Amino acid sequence: MDLAIQICLGFCGLLLLALVLKEPTMSLPEFVNEYSSSLLWVPHERVLEQADNGDIILLASPNKVIEFFAESPFTHVCLVFRDYETKGCRGNRIPYAWDADVGQKSRAGPRVMRLEDKLKRYRGGRFCAWKRLQGRRPPTTQFLSVLPSYFEYDIDVTFVRWFLCRVLARVPCASVRRLQAFLDPSHLKLIFCSELIALTLQKFGILQKHVSATAVSPGDCYENRLCLEDNYGYGSAFFFSRVKKKRNHRHK
């Protein structure tokens, strides 16, 4: 049997097994409803005022398939950096979102968008989370030098590479390493949100180089499962709403 067919059949079998054995992921509205009183809440205005270079913003899509593969109530992740609103280093330094996504009145794939616009236009749930980088923040000049290298990539709307890399990470052998190399985004010019953020953090020297960026999920970002270099970390998640809340939450 052709090797490619064997790989496809094996993948289908593993996916079916995962669907059978894995417990359903709690959606973000369900998660918030269950744990609201124990979560740390901030107004979204504070996020726009204080989010800085290297911070992570987590969002949620109502898509159950994405929830399953993300292994978290959060299904999307973006990285924040600040830059001047106008050229020539004048005006206010405003927060921008660096991510790989579709829609929201912007190009598909890796793109830069004002964080305020990202939060307004995102087609998903209204609850989000903000995680602040602990350690030396990468300067904006470093962001601007790294980002263009990914603009030629297309958005990867499937989860095949992510799922295979999660499975193959547990099987260290030469054949598996060759397949992992084939799945590398630089080979296929395809990329998804958490993969882009992981690669960017690696270039900044924040995420350890041995980590497979393709295997990283939004859940890893939320649960602090990222293998960061010494002197780096992400603190507790601050929850906020993209729209004005109708009920009172405890603010920190």
Name residue, tokens 């269950």: 34
Under DSSP, the state recorded for 251 is B
pLDDT tens series, the chain, 252 aa? 444 444 554 555 555 545 444 555 678 888 898 998 999 999 999 999 999 999 999 999 877 767 776 678 899 999 999 998 766 556 689 999 999 998 878 888 999 999 999 999 998 889 999 999 999 999 999 999 999 999 999 998 777 777 777 666 555 554 455 555 556 667 778 899 999 999 999 999 999 999 989 889 999 999 999 999 999 999 999 999 986 545 555 555
Structural domains of the chain, ranges and CATH numbers in brackets: 25-241 (3.90.1720)
Q: Which two tokens stand for residue 180?
A: 């992992």
**Residue 100 pairs with which residues in a beta bridge?**
110
Q: Which two tokens stand for residue 219?
A: 């859940």
Three-state DSSP at 143 gives helix
Instruction: Give the DSSP per-residue string, 148-165.
Output: GGGTTPEE----HHHHHH
Q: Yes or no: say if 44 and 119 are a contact pair by the CB < 8 Å rule.
A: yes
- Residue 2's pLDDT is what? 44
What's at 248, amino acid-wise? N
- Residue 195's pLDDT is what? 93
Q: Which two tokens stand for residue 123?
A: 């087609």
- Per 3-state DSSP, what percentage of the chain is helix, strand, and coil (rounded to 5)? 40, 20, 35
Q: What are the φ/ψ torsions at residue 233 (nearest 5 degrees)? A: -170, 170
The 238-241 sheet, strands edge to edge = 40-41, 238-241, 127-131, 56-59, 76-86, 90-101, 109-114
